[in-house]
Structure 1
Amino acid sequence: MSWSANAQSSGKNVGIGPENRYYPVQNFRDDFQVYDDAVKAYVPYIVEQHADKTALSAYIDLESNRHYVLLISTQQDGYLFINAALKRKLWAGTWQVLSIDSLYRVYRQPELFLTLYGAPGLGDRQLFIGYPKSATQKTVVLRDDNLSLRPREFSDYDSFLSVGLLFLLATHAFLFSLYHRAFLRFYSLRDLLSLRAQEESFLINRPLSSTNILFTINLSFVLAYLILFVQSRNIDVFASRALLLGGHRFVALTGEFFLLSAVAFLFLMGKYVLLEVLGGLYKLQGIINVHFFKILQSSLLFFTGMTLLLAIVAFNGPTLTWSQNSLLIPLIIFYTARLALLYLAIRSMEPIKNLYLFSYLCIVELIPLIIGLRFAL
């Protein structure tokens, strides 16, 4: 029996890959393409026409095959190319097991273009998406630092993040110059920790004034920058990634920045509307403006400080390994501390039954946090 016939016989009952440890999910035998010089494009592989072709290509859908592995094997020595870049040599008769999750994190694309170069003919190579029968097989985590045959491109992420920092510096300087008193109030840690709110303050009794709106917009810019910063460190902010698939070019990143800023601003304004509605239900209209002011004040202090800290760490330690937990833990601590601060601040203002106050804070603070963490994880 030939080598390719053995591959076909190792079906769902027997398994595929090294020691038949994987169940086949997709076989690319009928999905290969070759480059046709006549039409200057890739066309489906046809045995009668392309038997002498040494480079066979296929599109790999990463987003729909998360948690699976890519299985590659050749009968003779060959080479693996990903998006036209040489990644590794393929040794004859040896299976290469690549984690699709690692490919998804490295390339940050829903689909990759993979090419197997080697001996001519379809029978020389096997390409599968598989699922492990057990967790004993260690997969190869492919890094994007191998030999590449194309010129290395400078990261547009780094350029955008540098320009973004300058943009945030300009917006903060603008607010500091034109709204000096408000700026000092918003960025005062002492004022934030004070439980005696000045309800007659121009920032509290007019929550939708132009001053407050401008500082809310500035907070939206900071949040959008942080999301793109984290995304640039190969950490998925949201599992779906549906909002952040516009591309990695500078113009695309700029568009994503302003889109995220608009979404963040609408969420902040929507939260104020939610506070107004729930305040009316719980008869807490007197503390709504203070509550919203404390939210803006604490968020501006924390997220602006976090932006500066992450930027300093990133630009001084480019080889630092980033993880999702290292970013989630400070966020959880911040929101927990803010919830406690809001409870004390509201409790000191009005004689409210604890049950009402706990219900109110859970709906407007705790439940959105839990939902957000659920989607982030």
Structure 2
Amino acid sequence: MITLSLVISFTLSLFAQGRQEGVGPEQLYFPVHDLQADLLVYDEAFKTYVPYITEQHASEQALSAYVDVESNRRYKLLLQSKADGFLFIEAALRRKCPAGQWLVLDLDSLFQVYKKPQLFITLYGAAGAANWQAYIGHPRSAAGQTIRLNDDLLSVRPRNFSGFISFFSAGLLFLLAVHAFLISFFRRAFQTFYNPLNLITADPADDSFLINRPLGRVSMAFTLALSLSMAFLFMYVQHLNINLFSMGTLLPHESGFGTIVFNYGIISGLIFLSLLAKYAFVAAVGSLYKFDTIVNLHYFRVIQSSLLFITILIILVAALNPGNMVEIPVSYVLLPFIVFYLARLAWLYVTLVGQLPVKNLYLFSYLCIVELIPLVVGIRFAV
């Protein structure tokens, strides 16, 4: 009898222990893996995640772990917090964890949503690992309704702060200050460059201080303003993820304000040097054709028309919201510039044909060399 009593007592204790080993709502799940042993915390000193140690990290509110979803298909993720907390999956807020209530997530649905073999979860709430119970469990009976994650649930992610928004506002103010300086110190030249009526006049007025001195102090100031404006538009195009002239691979990729300003300065300098190189090219080709008398007028018209066109584009871009990342085909970006350059080529021909007693064929070939060929080559290497 004593032996039978001992066997019965031992058997009952095993059943009682089995019942106590259940986890989750009403202990209706077998524990497959306890995630307490996998908890991580972010170490500011090492800039990485380190294992949770009670003696060192008892005050941490954010506890993280990697959940092996692929190896635990058909199982459930069971979470409970003693105080109100939150569950983040892959850095996105997915669920609130009310105090004392079990949260049951289906690992199959997590795998279908995220398509990853491992998921990085973060438990945020009261300090310390003792606040949480986290298991991978297998249901041994109907455990009530489980939560299947879909893409339409709440998804709150940290906002990606881009330095471009600050640069965009500061750049507009900077260009406004540049033009305010030009209109204050070079008022007559400003009225000449930014006068559309002067541009469409085939026989320009006697602006010898501009036309005959393309490398003078006044003309160089407006050439620099054009370079700064074109670089601003170039930075906006880069912000739209359109990599022109492979500059995206040559310049630093950080999105900080200081780095963007540094890139802006480099691009402005390259454009300014390119404009000076264009004048040298126009002068060289003009001397070959004996067109020395129209070289300066040609370059003046180029700068004047470009200032008006780029300024209109900047006004249009400023009216848009630069924070909205819109997928724009590169052809839509190049099309306005192609139309502008072709229209400028035609107008340059009309403007210059009356300045020389030569055959039209020579002037046309001259303009093709200095205007059309660089356009074609530029489009070829732009994308």
TM-score between both structures, scaled by the size of structure 2: 0.61
After the TM superposition, which residues 10-21 of structure 1 pair with which residues of structure 2 at under 5 Å, given as runs?
none
Instruction: Read off the aligned partner of 1:346 and give its amino acid letter.
Output: L
For the residues of structure 2 that align with 1:175 and 1:253, how far apart are their CA atoms?
Answer: 25
Q: CA deviation at 1:361?
A: 1.2
Does 2:290 correspond to 1:290? no
For the residues of structure 1 that align with 2:120 and 2:196, how far apart are their CA atoms?
Answer: 64
**Is the 8 Å Cα contact of residues 274 and 364 (structure 1) preserved in structure 2?**
yes
Match of 1:117 in 2: 119
**Is the 8 Å Cα contact of residues 74 and 94 (structure 1) preserved in structure 2?**
no
For the residues of structure 1 that align with 2:292 and 2:162, how far apart are their CA atoms?
Answer: 50
The 1:55–1:367 alpha-carbon spacing in structure 2 relative to 1, beyond 3 Å, is farther
After the TM superposition, which residues 22-171 of structure 1 pair with which residues of structure 2 at under 5 Å, given as runs?
54=66, 74=70, 85=91, 116-117=118-119, 147=155, 151-171=158-178
**Is the 8 Å Cα contact of residues 86 and 147 (structure 1) preserved in structure 2?**
yes
For the residues of structure 1 that align with 2:287 and 2:200, how far apart are their CA atoms?
Answer: 26
Does 2:187 correspond to 1:180? yes
Q: State the secondary structure of the residue aligned to 2:244.
A: coil
Q: Deviations over 1:71-108 (max 9, x none)?
A: xx956569xxxxx74599985886989xxxxxxxxxxx
For the residues of structure 2 that align with 1:342 and 1:118, how far apart are their CA atoms?
Answer: 62
Q: CA deviation at 1:54?
A: 4.2
State which of 198, 207, 210 in structure 2 corresponds to 1:203.
Answer: 210
Q: State the secondary structure of the residue aligned to 1:273.
A: helix
After the TM superposition, which residues 245-256 of structure 1 pair with which residues of structure 2 at under 5 Å, given as runs?
245-256=252-263
After the TM superposition, which residues 210-289 of structure 1 pair with which residues of structure 2 at under 5 Å, given as runs?
210-239=217-246, 241-289=248-296
Q: CA deviation at 1:171?
A: 0.3
State which of 363, 368, 372 in structure 2 corresponds to 1:362.
Answer: 368
Structure ID, larger Rg: 2
After the TM superposition, which residues 298-377 of structure 1 pair with which residues of structure 2 at under 5 Å, given as runs?
298-314=305-321, 318=324, 322-377=328-383
The 1:292–1:249 alpha-carbon spacing in structure 2 relative to 1, beyond 3 Å, is same
TM-score between both structures, scaled by the size of structure 1: 0.62
Q: CA deviation at 1:344?
A: 1.0
Instruction: Read off the aligned partner of 1:300 and give its amino acid letter.
Output: L
Match of 2:60 in 1: none
The 1:115–1:338 alpha-carbon spacing in structure 2 relative to 1, beyond 3 Å, is farther
Match of 1:15 in 2: none
Moved more, 365-374 or 238-247: 238-247
What is the alpha-carbon root mean square deviation over aligned residues? 3.6
The 1:168–1:40 alpha-carbon spacing in structure 2 relative to 1, beyond 3 Å, is closer
Q: CA deviation at 1:169?
A: 0.2
The 1:92–1:271 alpha-carbon spacing in structure 2 relative to 1, beyond 3 Å, is same
The 1:36–1:169 alpha-carbon spacing in structure 2 relative to 1, beyond 3 Å, is closer
Q: Deviations over 1:48-86 (max 9, x none)?
A: xxxxx9479xxxxxxxxxxxxxxxx956569xxxxx745
Q: CA deviation at 1:246?
A: 4.0
**Is the 8 Å Cα contact of residues 202 and 350 (structure 2) preserved in structure 1?**
yes
For the residues of structure 2 that align with 1:210 and 1:226, how far apart are their CA atoms?
Answer: 25
Question: How many residues were matched structurally?
Answer: 269
Point out where structure 2 has 5 or more consecutive residues left out of the alignment.
Answer: 1-39, 49-64, 77-89, 95-106, 122-153
Q: CA deviation at 1:198?
A: 3.8
The 1:41–1:155 alpha-carbon spacing in structure 2 relative to 1, beyond 3 Å, is closer
**Is the 8 Å Cα contact of residues 198 and 204 (structure 1) preserved in structure 2?**
no
Q: State the secondary structure of the residue aligned to 2:313.
A: helix
Q: State the secondary structure of the residue aligned to 1:241.
A: helix
Q: Deviations over 1:105-140 (max 9, x none)?
A: xxxxxxxxx994379xxxxxxxxxxxxxxxxxxxxx
For the residues of structure 1 that align with 2:283 and 2:159, how far apart are their CA atoms?
Answer: 53
Point out where structure 1 has 5 or more consecutive residues left out of the alignment.
Answer: 1-34, 43-52, 57-72, 79-83, 98-113, 120-145
Q: Deviations over 1:237-296 (max 9, x none)?
A: 334622333421000011011111100000000000001111111111010000000000
**Is the 8 Å Cα contact of residues 291 and 346 (structure 1) preserved in structure 2?**
yes
Q: Deviations over 1:159-218 (max 9, x none)?
A: 110000000000000000110000000001111111103466211011111000000000
